[in-house]
Structure 1
Amino acid sequence: MSVSAEVDSCSRTVTISVVGTFGFNLVHQFRRCYVDKREYQFTIDLRKVDYIDSAGLGMLLNMHNYLEQSDGDIRITNTLPQVRKVLSISRFDKKFEIE
């Protein structure tokens, strides 16, 4: 289980990829990917996430709140059906662009 970030300084974008269960054990790794990058646009790639728990949802909300004052967009992409269902039930489609 890990988190990695690919930063493109020219286009001011960051793609964050999460592998495994998206939960509390990734909180520090995930936060490091977006702190001090308020002017960037973010894509969170969940193609390798098979489960997201309440801590994972909380991390997404913390990221949204941290970046809220900027012009940055946050897109969540490549979700497996079971992860998309949790995001939908939690109404995350109101705060994030989910593809």
Structure 2
Amino acid sequence: MAITAQPSTDGQELTIAIQGRFDFGAHQEFRDAYERVSIAPKRYVIDLEGTTYLDSSALGMLLLLRDHAGGDHARISLVNCNPDVRKILSISNFGQLFQIT
């Protein structure tokens, strides 16, 4: 599993890409990806194109990011979801909390 964080050139957006399994083993690496950046982004993009598996702890980590990013005012997009990941997000009603594309 690899998690990378890439800020936009203007510092307004942070893209976090997750490769492989997104589960409890990714907790610290995922947190570091958004807490240890030198910018304060207004938008977050979570790129799940390479994500092969997502469990309940990953859902919890996304909620922690949402709290960190401003709660109800957070602007977080979950992008490039494969059908299995999209199904888990849908069942969990994450479409109410995040923009899913």
Normalising by structure 2, what TM-score?
0.88
CA–CA distance in 2 between the matches of 1:70 and 1:86? 21
- Report if aligned partners of 2:12, 2:40 keep a CA contact under 8 Å in 1: no
Give the secondary structure class of the aligned counterpart of 2:34: coil
CA apart distance, 1:40: 2.7
Partner letter of residue 62 of structure 2?
L
Instruction: Give the distance between the partners of 2:93 and 2:9, measured in 1 at CA.
Output: 31
> How far does residue 80 in structure 1 lie from its aligned partner after superposition?
0.3
Q: Which blocks of at least 5 consecutive residues in structure 1 are unaligned?
A: none
| Structure in which a larger fraction of residues adopt strand | 1
For structure 2, the residue ranges without an aligned partner over 5 or more in a row are: none
Structure 1 residue 42 and structure 2 residue 52: aligned?
A: no
What RMSD, in angstroms, separates the aligned Cα atoms of the two structures? 1.8
Q: Count matched residues.
A: 99
- Contact 2:66–2:74, Cα closer than 8 Å, also in 1: no
Change in CA separation of 1:11 and 1:38 when aligned onto 2, cut-off 3 Å: closer
SS of equivalent to 1:79: coil
Separation (CA, whole Å) in 2 of partners of 1:41 and 1:70: 13
Summarize the alignment of residues 2-81 of structure 1 with structure 2, pairs less than 5 Å apart.
2-35=2-35, 37-68=39-70, 72-81=74-83
Q: Which moved more, 1:83-92 or 1:24-33?
A: 24-33
Q: Spell out structure 1 runs of 4+ moving beyond 3 A.
A: 36-39, 69-72
Higher share of residues assigned helix? 2
Instruction: With the length of structure 1 as denominator, give the TM-score of the two structures.
Output: 0.90
